[in-house]
A and B are shown apart, each in its own frame.
Chain A
């Protein structure tokens, strides 16, 4: 990136200090390899820093956006170096019907909503959806 002015560099340092442990945890969970997770984390912050001016138009809260960018960077690294894993998440589709009324009643929060939706799926499908997000 271009030589940032001092204040900009301090701003980046503050953002990094506040968020890098969470984002590195996510990259590690996706990649299960420290060197690759470090690469993904760097890619993620590079995108974050270069797209910061555009973040407000995405419609996400700051942490949601940071997590989304970091996770997507990790998935990109994973796609370049696929694991020798058992099942391929890309065989999965999401063609189940919408959750029933009970599940919808539980959906008081967004995190609650996804947990409720996952609970409606059969156990192996639920694990597959979580796995697809965090393990590609």
Chain B
């Protein structure tokens, strides 16, 4: 455990963003910084990628009802 819980490890902020732990002003400020910062964009991608891989492996496929696709075409 960290001796300094007030200093997040590198990339932790991006992780909190990806996990949906940020809201309101914090989230908006982070997104503004990300728009101007390629490194921060990479950090976000580096968090999204393994979580998506985990979801792809662990979550069973469930065919959606046909009405969803019908509604999509109407949209």
Q: Which residues of A contact B (CB under 8 A)?
A: 1, 9, 12-13, 16, 20-22, 24-26, 28-29, 37-38, 41-42, 45-46, 58-60, 63-64, 67-68, 71, 75, 79, 89-90, 92-98, 109-111, 113-115, 129-130, 132-134, 136
B55 within 8 A of A: yes
Interface size on B, residues (CB 8 A): 43
Residues of A within 8 A of B63 (CB): 20-21, 24
Structural contact, A132 and B19, CB atoms closer than 8 A: yes
Structural contact, B53 and A58, CB atoms closer than 8 A: no
Structural contact, A1 and B75, CB atoms closer than 8 A: yes
Structural contact, B73 and A9, CB atoms closer than 8 A: yes
Structural contact, B55 and A95, CB atoms closer than 8 A: no
Task: Give 17 A-B contacts (CB < 8 Å), ordered by A residue.
Answer: A20-B68, A21-B61, A21-B63, A22-B56, A24-B63, A41-B64, A42-B75, A64-B53, A71-B51, A75-B20, A89-B19, A94-B12, A97-B9, A109-B53, A111-B50, A132-B21, A133-B55
Residues of B within 8 A of A90 (CB): 20-21, 23
Known contacts A16-B69, A21-B63, A42-B71; is-contact A92 B54 (Cβ 8 Å): no
Cross-chain contact of B62 among A16, A25, A93 (Cβ < 8 A): A25
Residues of B within 8 A of A22 (CB): 56, 59, 61
Structural contact, B20 and A136, CB atoms closer than 8 A: yes
Cross-chain contact of B56 among A63, A75, A92, A133 (Cβ < 8 A): A63
Give CA–CA (A132, B65) in the complex, Å.
Answer: 27
Tell me how far the C-beta of B16 lies from the nearest C-beta in chain A, rounded to whole angstroms: 6
Structural contact, B64 and A20, CB atoms closer than 8 A: yes
Among residues of B, the one whose C-beta sits closest to the C-beta of A107 is B50
For window 20-75 of B, CB contacts with A under 8 Å fall at: 20-21, 23, 41-42, 45, 48-57, 59-65, 67-69, 71-73, 75
Residues of A within 8 A of B21 (CB): 89-90, 92-94, 132
Q: A111-B53, A133-B54 are in contact. List 9 more A-B contacts (CB 8 A).
A: A16-B72, A21-B62, A24-B62, A41-B68, A64-B48, A71-B52, A98-B10, A114-B51, A130-B54
